Amino acid sequence: MINIGLLGLGTVGSGVLEILDSRREELKNITGHDINIRKILVKDLNKKRPIKIKPGILTDNFNDILEDKDISIIVEATGDLEKGYDYIRKSLKEGKNVVTANKAVVSRHFEELTELAEKEGLAFLYEASVGGGIPLLKSLKEQLALNEITEVKGILNGTCNYILTEMERGLDYFEALRIAQRKGFAELDPTDDVEGLDTRRKLRILGTLALGSTILEEDIVLRGIRSIKAIDIEYINKMNCSIKLIGEIKSYEEGYTAIVEPMIVNKNSPFYSVYYEKNAVLLKGDKVGDLIFYGNGAGKLPTANAILTDVIDIIMGLSKTESPVGTNKLENINISLKGKYYLRISKVSKNIYSIMESIAKEILCEKENIVIMTKSMLLNDILKLLKVLEIKEEEYFLARKEC
Amino acid sequence: MINIGLLGLGTVGSGVLEILDSRREELKNITGHDINIRKILVKDLNKKRPIKIKPGILTDNFNDILEDKDISIIVEATGDLEKGYDYIRKSLKEGKNVVTANKAVVSRHFEELTELAEKEGLAFLYEASVGGGIPLLKSLKEQLALNEITEVKGILNGTCNYILTEMERGLDYFEALRIAQRKGFAELDPTDDVEGLDTRRKLRILGTLALGSTILEEDIVLRGIRSIKAIDIEYINKMNCSIKLIGEIKSYEEGYTAIVEPMIVNKNSPFYSVYYEKNAVLLKGDKVGDLIFYGNGAGKLPTANAILTDVIDIIMGLSKTESPVGTNKLENINISLKGKYYLRISKVSKNIYSIMESIAKEILCEKENIVIMTKSMLLNDILKLLKVLEIKEEEYFLARKEC
């Protein structure tokens, strides 16, 4: 029997229980073991829960789990940065394999935790932390044996994509956000999602694996979707295009660029038909070419499914303990980021008009808003101009045209 | 050192050599072994080849490879149905693991070869046989531990997709076919591709794995794209849709349906933006939801890359020897296949007109061609009508509207 300690019994934790329960026989046939949730860490032992729990397996004391010698695998599903980190570190030091869905922890402590796992000869797996249910990181690690990865790019945040999809279907930003919240895709405080922080964490993990070089959150340019308005959607629709929040890391001879920003994609783009809470990730390998993985970026069962594929790999001895974090030293050349940009400014003056005209390839509107497509230019130069003109973040929307 | 016997030195075989050569160091670091191509089976020893081959490793006698005790892995890349089958069977019986890209062999002899491998305790892997470079079958097998798969569906043939893409860009069928042949995507005799036989082979493999039940080629309804004309593309374009040749297997309470046919997809479909030689495959799991895998369906390096991921799995002990072919007994209910169909008939008579009007939901054209969208109806009923009306296969084009 394989005993698991489950940390957290929220959406994801319940999903893990649900799947284990429904696939007991199949899992025994495949792995040769009964998989047993031996203890579950919760905050409140007396909380009413919609699922049936075996009596006596709940605890509000992490040490009960840590000190249980029969537990060999910890599934960390707290969603909490500080506690999650603490639990994972202690578990590895105590000789337990760890599976987590906690992208904030993996992003913040990737090098430390993967090295600790390697030192202890244990598995540390986090498939569910990027792309939810999509079997992405394992495939990426496999491709690395045969390929130089030159690009990773993806729609990595279901909340933003949900909001943008609803806006393209006619809602304004706040209506779309409210629906996303009501459906459980967006948090009450959506800052991490709409400002791109969540996408950046996932891109940091993906990029570090793909390029074999530590790429930190602060190495990634961050531009979210908070200032988008219905008028932007209108112009993007008129171009027969769609708007997505995309994280992108590219490697060149001279170094790498890394950015999270809104991107305008046309119908030839593989990201064009990725709607609502779906995620999609592109990997470009020098041998395999373009690979794209698409699926549910979040949700109870998809996320739990990803966690359990990691658990199965550990039980079957298919996971490596070596840290997958590479030691390449690459230069960050974000300063070279450039492209043709859609730019809408809601504050107008003669001064702004004439400067916008000077950088425009095409002027789409010059009324209460000025809307242009720029020539191909450095992102930095556009941002500098906006600063000089004293245009605040909420007064403009800037999105790169994909190609 | 791991010694490989390579069967065939065409496009795919050369790709295997090329990648092994360029990744020698990385592969040694990852697997802990030198990977050595010890012998290569070719038809003509004296043929001039564009690549450098170590002297003395070519042979035109398969037994030289079979009897070489130091060769533990056979990479079968002949592309030949009879010889490929013979070589694979003999290799397994001789105690050698086998990796193949040969979809015709895998489709025809799937149960026999997987059982033989299981009996001998050897690996038999064929990632490259479906979806070219896309890491698909391994992910599918992994999802099976946790999911009931209720649908597999995909663009599985690069040649057809290439032809259809070029037609949507303005070429007629024969021009598009000629370009596909010139670029090396289509064979001189394109029958297997355009009539859907190649798609059907891949669907047979996918479906057998996904449903855990043997689904043979003859269990799959087959309808290709040979009769498509520019006028069809015109009407499909007017619907803001795209046309793809799609293989689809769905499972229901009562049984399963399996079909290869042209399908009209709109811009919300994940297949919409799959162009040219690209492939894409959808898996629907009851836990993970929809997963889509996209990439190069063919080509020297992508196919060789897929072969070598199998080789690496064997070397690292990550491949199972149990046959993945399930023993579910499912009923074939293709008789229930139905949908709304686009139907163009190039032969006209009063009789045909009036019958077409009776099944039409919408009449798109009634001139030298009659073009309709049918009501939702059984495919069988449409095919029966066409037979009764004595309309030959080359006189009509029939494509299902995806949704």
The structural domain count of chain B equals 3
**Residue A332, domain member (yes or no):** no
What pLDDT is recorded for position B367? 85
Alpha-carbon A397 to chain mean position: 22
Residues 249-308 of A with CB under 8 A from B: 267-270, 272-275, 278, 280, 285, 287-296, 299, 301-302, 304-306, 308
Chain B residue with the nearest C-alpha to that of A310: B142
Q: How far apart are CA B375 and CA B371, in angstroms?
A: 13
Domain that holds residue A279: 137-297
Work out the percent of chain A whose per-residue pLDDT is above 70.
100
Q: How far apart are CA A138 and CA B303, in angstroms?
A: 19
Judge contact between B382 and B320, C-beta under 8 A: no
Of A16, A36, A5, A8, whose CA–CA distance to A301 is shortest? A16
Task: Find the helix or strand (DSSP H, E) in which A104 lies.
Answer: helix A103-120
- The ipTM value here is 0.95
B271 and B364: one domain? no
CA distances from A272 to A147, A285, B238, B294 (A): 26, 21, 19, 14
**Mean pLDDT computed over A236-265:** 97
- What is the per-residue pLDDT across A137-157, written as a single tens digit (0 to 9) for each? 999 999 999 999 999 999 999
CATH number of the domain encompassing residue A28? 3.40.50.720
Task: Find the helix or strand (DSSP H, E) in which A371 lies.
Answer: strand A370-378
**Residue B331, domain member (yes or no):** no
Confidence of residue A367 (pLDDT cuts 50, 70, 90): confident
Residue to test with chain A: of B287, B290, B319, B327, most A Cβ within 10 A: B287
Q: How far apart are CA A33 and CA B400, in angstroms?
A: 45
Which residue reads 């990803």 in tokens? A306
Q: How far apart are CA B353 and CA B280, in angstroms?
A: 38
**Residue A326, domain member (yes or no):** no
Q: Distance, in angstroms, between A294 CA and closest chain B CA?
A: 5
Which residue reads 């190649």 in tokens? B198
**Mean pLDDT computed over A360-367:** 92
Tell if the CB–CB gap between A267 and B267 is shorter than 8 Å: yes
B92 and B141: one domain? no
**A225-229, A345-349, B279-283: which range is least confident on average?**
A345-349
Residue A387: CB atoms within 10 A of its CB come to 10
Tell if the CB–CB gap between B296 and A285 is shorter than 8 Å: no
Confidence of residue A348 (pLDDT cuts 50, 70, 90): confident
Residue B375: CB atoms within 10 A of its CB come to 12
B389 φ, ψ to 5°? -80, 0
**Residue B116, domain member (yes or no):** yes
**Residue A188, domain member (yes or no):** yes
Tell if the CB–CB gap between A291 and B292 is shorter than 8 Å: no
Q: Which of A297, A329, A346 is the last residue of a domain?
A: A297
A144 and A285: one domain? yes
Question: Please, what is the angle between helix A11-22 and helix A24-31, to 10°?
Answer: 70
Judge contact between A281 and A292, C-beta under 8 A: yes
**Joined tokens for residue A396:** 């403009």
**Residue B50, domain member (yes or no):** yes
A159 and A284: one domain? yes
Judge contact between A319 and A123, C-beta under 8 A: yes
Give the neighbor-by-neighbor strand order of the sheet with A58-59.
Answer: A58-59, A35-41, A2-7, A71-76, A97-100, A124-125
**Mean pLDDT computed over A292-309:** 96
**Which residue(s) pair with B154 in the sheet?**
B247, B281
Tell if the CB–CB gap between A135 and B145 is shorter than 8 Å: no
A269 and A387: one domain? no
CA-based torsion, B264, B267, B270, B275: positive or negative: positive
On whether any CB of chain A is under 8 Å from the CB of B327, the answer is no
What pLDDT is recorded for position B216? 98
Q: Is the predicted pLDDT of residue A71 greater than 90, yes or no?
A: yes
A105 and A143: one domain? no
Q: Which chain B residues contact residue A318 at CB under 8 A?
A: 318
**Residue B325, domain member (yes or no):** no
What pLDDT is recorded for position A268? 87
Which residue reads 């922080």 in tokens? A197
B124 and B254: one domain? no
**Joined tokens for residue A320:** 């490596």
- Residue type for position A279: N
What pLDDT is recorded for position B354? 92
B275 and B358: one domain? no
B145 and B253: one domain? yes
Q: Which of A242, A267, A297 is the last residue of a domain?
A: A297
A310 and A262: one domain? no
CATH number of the domain encompassing residue B369? 3.30.70
- What is the per-residue pLDDT across A310-324, written as a single tens digit (0 to 9) for each? 999 999 999 989 999
DSSP state of A183: T
Using DSSP's 3-state secondary structure scheme, residue A240 falls into coil
Tell if the CB–CB gap between B133 and A30 is shorter than 8 Å: no
Q: Which of B283, B315, B347 is the last residue of a domain?
A: B315
- What is the per-residue pLDDT across A47-57, written as a single tens digit (0 to 9) for each? 999 888 988 99
Q: How far apart are CA B327 and CA B214, in angstroms?
A: 7
A251 and A160: one domain? yes
**Joined tokens for residue B207:** 């479906």
Confidence of residue A347 (pLDDT cuts 50, 70, 90): confident
Tens of each residue's pLDDT in chain B, 403 residues: 999 999 999 999 999 999 999 999 999 999 999 999 999 999 999 999 988 898 899 999 999 999 999 999 999 999 999 999 999 999 999 999 999 999 999 999 999 999 999 999 999 999 999 999 999 999 999 999 999 999 999 999 999 999 999 999 999 999 999 998 998 778 888 999 999 999 999 999 999 999 999 999 999 999 999 999 999 999 999 999 999 999 999 999 999 999 999 999 998 899 999 999 999 999 999 999 999 999 999 899 999 999 999 999 999 999 989 999 988 999 999 999 999 999 999 988 888 999 999 999 999 988 889 999 999 999 999 999 999 999 999 999 999 999 8
Per-residue H/E/C for chain B? CEEEEEECCCHHHHHHHHHHHHCHHHHHHHHCCCEEEEEEECCCCCCCCCCCCCCCCEECCHHHHHCCCCEEEEEECCCCHHHHHHHHHHHHHCCCEEEECCHHHHHHHHHHHHHHHHHHCCCEECHHHCCCCCCCHHHHHHHCCCCCEEEEEEECCHHHHHHHHHHHCCCCHHHHHHHHHHCCCCCCCCHHHHCCHHHHHHHHHHHHHHHCCCCCHHHCEECCCCCCCHHHHHHHHHCCEEEEEEEEEEECCCCEEEEEEEEEEECCCCCCCCCCCEEEEEEEECCCEEEEEEEECCCHHHHHHHHHHHHHHHHCCCCCCCCCCCCCCCCECHHHCEEEEEEEECCCCHHHHHHHHHHEEEEEEECCCEEEEEEEEEHHHHHHHHHHCCCCHHHEEEEEECC
pLDDT averaged over every residue in chain A:
96
Q: How far apart are CA B301 and CA B295, in angstroms?
A: 12
How far the first Cα of chain B sits from its last, in Å, is: 53
CATH number of the domain encompassing residue B214? 3.30.360.10
Q: Strands A278-285 and A289-296: what pairing?
A: antiparallel
Burial class (CB in 10 A: 0-12, 13-18, 19+), A78: buried
What pLDDT is recorded for position B356? 93
- What is the per-residue pLDDT across A164-214, written as a single tens digit (0 to 9) for each? 999 999 999 999 999 989 987 788 889 999 999 999 999 999 999 999 999
Judge contact between B71 and B3, C-beta under 8 A: yes
**Mean pLDDT computed over A318-332:** 92
**Mean pLDDT computed over A214-237:** 97
Q: Distance, in angstroms, between B265 CA and closest chain A CA?
A: 11
Work out the percent of chain A whose per-residue pLDDT is above 90.
91
CA distances from B202 to B75, B118, B167, B221 (A): 19, 22, 24, 14
B311 and B290: one domain? no
Residues 369-398 of A with CB under 8 A from B: none
At a CB cut-off of 8 Å and minimum separation 6, what does B355 contact?
Answer: B385, B389
Burial class (CB in 10 A: 0-12, 13-18, 19+), B68: middle
**Joined tokens for residue B299:** 């080509």
Tell if the CB–CB gap between A289 and B304 is shorter than 8 Å: no
The residues of B annotated with a catalytic role in the active site are 202
Q: How far apart are CA A15 and CA A8, in angstroms?
A: 11
**Residue A320, domain member (yes or no):** no
- What is the per-residue pLDDT across A26-48, written as a single tens digit (0 to 9) for each? 999 999 999 999 999 999 999 99
Residue to test with chain A: of B20, B292, B321, most A Cβ within 10 A: B292
